Structure formats: structure tokens, C-alpha cells
Structure 1
Amino acid sequence: MRINKYLVFTIITLCSFFAKAQENKGRGIQLPTDNEFKEIFKIQSNYVQGGQKIYNLTSSVYGDANAPTFDLRDINGLTSVKDQGSCGSCWAFSAVATIESSNLLINKKYLDLSEQSLVNCVADSQGCEGGWYDHAYSWLLLNNKDVALEDEIPYKNSDLSCSLYEGNSNVKIANYNFLIGNPSIEEIKNALVRHGALAVALYSNNTQFSNYKGGVIKALNSAPDHAVTIVGWDDTQEAWLIKNSWGTAWGINGFGWVGYNTTGITAFSWVDVTRNDVIEESELEPKSDLDLVEIDFVHVLGSLQVHQELYVKIDDDLVKIFGMNKKEIKYHNKVYVSKGKHEFEIITKSIIKKDNKKSMIFGISLGKINVTEDVSYKLVYKSRVNESNVFKLSLEADDIKIGE
């Protein structure tokens, strides 16, 4: 069989091109100093204060942390692979990938968000010279603008000046945190099924990672130099499924497997976005069964509130979660139950903004209720619990009127 020399030359040239392109891919992790870690922890702690345990109680669960395998792609919890080019902006791509994943899981919206906006504006990072994804979360948390869409601030593979923008994505940060110390495999899995993709740092400057095409990367643990996202696991392979930001030519269409506790993998962070208002009539679930009664938990955002999420649990078998984001709107958050006595648990997670500082407050109400007909209650924050940012909630007769 005669070999086409031109074809061989073309293949070799293309392989050389792609290998060279891979060598030029950016990395860009800048590990925070001890003081910077303390400042990140302080920002998050001051924001959520004593309510983290209550916050965790209301987290949705999108998978089984005890399952032998898990893949966010199987539950429509992941956006497409992107390419950071030669810019050291992996930290921004990792942050955006987690935000996009959270938005898909919480709001069922597939959005392409802007890494360039973070490269341009996150002052605690150095743009294409490297940065840290928790700095991006902190900046977004304190900034009350939407996360920009890719079409609004497209990626340019370079540093540009920061400019203000009026975002149209309806994506804001509700909360973020990181797994402290050296978390167990079980802790990482639990975070993944509760929050979606996790930002993580690892050691990529090795041939196993750079030239990866399949199998499991088990490079020696060394100082991390690159940020990716964990998007699943496989206990049979004893490996995490990662999504990289070097385009689809790397790995298995941009994804790869990294062994548990190898390759310097560390610094696991999660983020949650705010829940959107109900926008589809079908989501309102009108009462169709005449034997059911309607309970309407009404609320109007207060002068300091920029967001509130309402978690309603009835008799352990009915859970509803509602988002509220607009001023001067009376929200009707309805659930339907059978007539009679019921146990209920109501938790609110509210973001307030005062003097350009944002923080969370929480409300909680537990008790029993006897309903025989449709009823409407307003939610009222009462006394603090142990001088914390957690308040007792009271259900009172609905007398809210708008525009009077």
C-alpha cells in the first residue's frame, strides 16, 4: 500500500500545531496569602454570619452523594466547555463555570456568562497574570449588578479596563463558601450534589495533564497552578470528572478524569445564585383539586431587601421554594394542602443592602396549622434569636396593599 506523503505531512503538521497550541494554554492560579485567605473568610462570614446552618437546611439536592457515579451533564447541570487561550484567566473561567452550573440547577436557565468582566474588574486578582476564584465570588457578592452575559462583555484573551454595565442576565450571587482544610471525598461529593460544579485548583504543569487524551490522571501532588471545575465522580476509577478551560481539543472533548487525592487537587469552592421570580404561568400550579385548600404566603420586599427566598415545608412531604427580587410587588407564594391539621416549617433567606454593604438575614417559623378554607398570611420578622442575624418569623393576617 502506497502512503500519501502529503497526507502524512499534513497530519504531522496538524499534530505539531495542536501540541504547540496546547503548550500555550494559560493557567493562572495565584494562591492567596494567609492574610488574603483570612479576608475572604471574613467577607463570607460577615455576609452569612450565624445563618450558615439554616442556609444549608434549605439547599436543594440534585443527586445521591452515596452513588458510585455522578455526572452533572446527566441532569442538565453544566454549560459547554470554553477556551481561555493563552491568558492566565483560568480562575475566572472556573468561577463562571460554577455560576453557570448553579443557575442551570436553580433557575433552569442556560446562559453564557462573561469571564472577561471578571478579568477586567476583580481588583484582588491580576487578570491574565492570574487570580483566584474566591476573589471573583467576593467581588460579585458585594457588587449588586447582574453577572454580565458573554454577548455584553465578550472574551478577548487579554486584560482590558473595567467598565460599568447594566446586566441583563438576572444572575446574582446568593452565597458562596469553600470546604475548609483537607475535606474528605464524602464532603466533596455532598457539596457537588447540593451546589453544582465546584471550583478547584490542581497541578497541571505535567505531561499527564498537558497531553491528556483519556484514562485517569494521577500526577504527583505539587503546588497547584491551574483552576478547573469538578463536575462528577466515578468510584470505580477512584476519580473526579473535571471540566477544563482549554477548549474541546484537550482531553475527552474538554473533560477529564483526575484521581482522588492526586495532582495537588485542593481548595474546593461552591457558589449559589439567587432564585428567579416565577416567570411561567405553569409554575404557579393553580388549584385543580376542589378538596385542597390554598395557603398563600404573601410578601413585599422591604426597603433594605434586594432578594428573598422562601422555603416552605408541609408535613415532610411537600416542599416549595420561591424567589422574590423586585420592589413594589406583592408576591403570592402559594401551596395547596388537604383540609385539616398540618405541621409546617418556613425559612426565609433574605439579602439586604445597607450603606453599600450586603448581608443575609434569616427568618424561621415552626408549628402547626389547621386550615379549612383558603387563607393568606403575610411574613413578619420578629425578635432575633440569640442576638444573631436569625429572626423568628410570624404568620399574620394579610393586610398588605400596594400603591396606597
Structure 2
Amino acid sequence: HTYRLGVNQFSDITDEEYRQMLTLDVSALEGQQTYDKKPYSIKAQLPESVDWRTKNVVSAVKNQGSCGSCFAFASVDTIESAHAIKTGTLVTLSPQNVIDCMGNPGVCTQGSYMHLAFEFIIKEGGLDKEESYPYKGVYHKCSYQAQYSGASITGYANVTSGDEDALQEAIATNGPVVVGIDASLSTFRSYKSGVYNDKKCKNAFRDLHHAVVAVGYGTENGQDYYIVKNSWATTYGDHGYIKMARNANNHCGIATYALYPTGTK
């Protein structure tokens, strides 16, 4: 193994309880997505490694709790980073704003899509700061107030599905990217450190049940990896992060459904 497992907050819950947390369901997107096709000829010029955390544009690891709100956390994280890269100021934004105001009371058990979160924020024209709209972990009536908005976006782009070169370029040239992954395996649940690479991990749209953020990439002992930010508190993995195998046949579907905000304001 190139990775180590450990005891964390998920060690004592049942497989069923764990599965209930994994609410992303993008099986309907199979073959539906439109991609921003461009020739990826610049791979040679991309840096060997990127870690946006070192640029002070990635917020602290958050905790979604038992609500299936990964899509909101991961999408909001990328907007925080895009805004910080553009303005030089890192503002922590509110996933609860997204959960409450997208209009689905069953969101904690049903989850949603990251592109719908982006579309909602574009339409709304803003996103409140975490401090003015704190996380509750359950669905509430929408209480978005434009005067507390910390950032917004005017668009988003999809990474060409399954193309890890395109994902690498998006991370290097744009910033953190929100990705859907297969997080269903017990090895993912118990991950502690090293480069996560489990041959049982799947990569089709229907296998992606969790949303996370790729905040960088690199290579360790000859194994390429992505630096992935989770929303399961700092007790998960390596201080809340997991290194996931890169250039390993789209391991866990990390490049299957990947997108990032454009035009932050």
C-alpha cells in the first residue's frame, strides 16, 4: 500500500450510516454534460506540483456533519478560493446559504449537484459570509441577505470528463476545482496518510457519491497525486485532507465530474 489507514470519527458508525452521508447522485449526467473543449497542449509548461494552500487562498477544513451537503461545501470552497486568488482576500462563505436557498427541503438526505449550486449562486448574485449565515447542518428557511454577501461568480466551466491532463491544467491555471468521487470504500473512510490508491474504486458518473475539492497536485515516491480537501473535519485523513492517486486511470472518478467557478466578483 502507498497509504495508511487509521481510526477516526467514522470507525464506530455502520456501513449504512456512512452510505447515508454520501448523497451525491450524478448518474443522470452520463452523456449530458457539455465541456469547454480546448486543446490541452500546454501540459509541458504546467508546474510539477501545485498547492494552493501555500498561497493563503484555501479556507480551513469544515465539517458537514451528518447532512449530505458535500456538494454545497465543496462548491463554496472553490468560490472562496477563486475570490481569494482574484482579490487577495480569503473570505469564508456560507454553505448553509446554498442548502437553505436552493429550495429543496430534503437536501440533507438527497444531496444535489455542484453545477446547480454554481447556477444558483450566479442567479442569486451573491453568497453570504459564514459568520453572518452560520452552518446548522439541517435545512432551514432561506435567510440570505445581500448586504452580507462575501463573493459571487458569473460563470463556471466543466473539465473535459475523464481527462486528467485537463484537470491538472484547471488546477494549475485557475485554482481549486470541485470534483465528484467514489468515496464508498472502507479504505477511503479510514484513510490516514499517504497516496490513496484502491483498485476497487470506480469512476463512472453513477459511482460518484461525494463532492470534494482538488486544491493541488504533486508526486510522492513516484506516485502522482491530487491534494484533496474533504468536509469531514480535521479528524478525517491527514488534517482533513487526502492525497488521491493521479494519472491512475481516473482513479475514483476524480476527473469524471469536475468543475470550477469563473468570473468571481
Q: Same fold (TM over 0.5)?
A: yes
1:113 counterpart SS class: coil
1:156 corresponds in structure 2 to 136
Equivalent AA in structure 1 for residue 257 of structure 2: A
Unaligned 5+ runs, structure 2: 1-6, 39-43
How far did 1:151 drift?
Answer: 1.8
Task: State which of 235, 241, 245 in structure 1 corresponds to 2:231.
Answer: 245
Say yes or no: does 1:256 pair with 2:242: yes
- Of residues 152, 155, 174, the one that matches 1:175 is 155
How does 1:356-367 map onto structure 2 within 5 Å? none
- Alpha-carbon offset, residue 137 of structure 1: 0.4
The normalised TM-score by structure 1 is: 0.54
Taking only the aligned residue pairs, the percentage that are identical comes to 26
For the pair 1:27 / 2:19, whether they are aligned, the reply is no
User: Who is 2:196 aligned against?
Assistant: 217
3-state SS of 1:214 partner:
strand
**Residue in 2 aligned with 1:297?**
none
| Unmatched 5+ stretches in structure 1 | 1-14, 46-51, 54-63, 276-404
Q: What is the correspondence of 1:53-72 to structure 2 with a 5 Å cutoff?
A: 66-72=46-52
* Matched-pair contact (CA < 8 Å) for 1:216–1:239: yes
**Aligned residue for 1:268?**
258
Q: 1:135 aligns with which of 116, 128, 132?
A: 116
- d(CA) in 2 for partners of 1:199, 1:104: 16
Whether contact under 8 Å (1:178, 1:270) holds in the other structure is yes
Greater shift in the superposed pair: 64-73 or 199-208:
64-73
Aligned mates of 2:8, 2:238 — CA distance in 1: 19
The alignment's TM-score, normalised by the length of structure 2, stands at 0.80
Q: Which residue is equivalent to 2:170? A: 191
1:203 corresponds to which of 157, 182, 187 = 182
Residue 180 (structure 1) shift: 2.7
Equivalent in the alignment of 1:228: 212
Taking the aligned partners of 2:165 and 2:90, their CA distance within structure 1 comes to 28
Deviation at 1:110, TM superposition (A): 1.5
Three-state SS of the structure 2 residue aligned to 1:19 is coil
Which of 1 and 2 has higher RCO (CA within 8 Å, sep 6+)? 2
Q: Distance in 2 between matches of 1:81 and 1:239?
A: 19
State how 1:267-286 maps to structure 2 within 5 Å. 267-275=257-265
Shift of 1:226: 0.5
Number of equivalences? 239
Q: Which has the higher strand share?
A: 1
Cα distance, 1:126–1:33 mapped onto 2, change above 3 Å: farther
SS at match of 1:20: coil
Distance 1:154 1:239, change over 3 A: same
Note if contact 2:178-2:213 (Cα within 8 Å) is conserved in structure 1: yes
1:221 and 1:247 map into 2 onto residues whose CA distance is 23
* Closer/same/farther in 2, CA of residues 174 and 96 from structure 1, 3 Å limit: same
Superposition misfits of 4+ residues, deviation over 4 angstroms:
15-18, 21-25, 34-38
Query: Shift of residue 125 of structure 1?
Result: 9.1
Query: What secondary structure does 2:23 align onto?
Result: coil
Q: CA deviation at 1:138?
A: 0.6
Query: Which of residues 86, 106, 115 is equivalent to 2:86?
Result: 106
1:82 is matched by which residue type in structure 2?
Answer: K
User: Which residue, out of 91, 95, 99, partners 2:75?
Assistant: 95
SS of the residue 2:146 aligns to: coil
8 Å CA contact 1:201, 1:228 repeated in 2: yes
| Structure (1 or 2) with the greater helix fraction | 2
Aligned-partner SS, 2:192: coil
Deviation at 1:149, TM superposition (A): 0.9
Deviations 1:114-139 (A, max 9, x none): 00111112247952121111100011
1:274 Cα shift? 2.9
Paired AA for residue 260 in structure 2: W
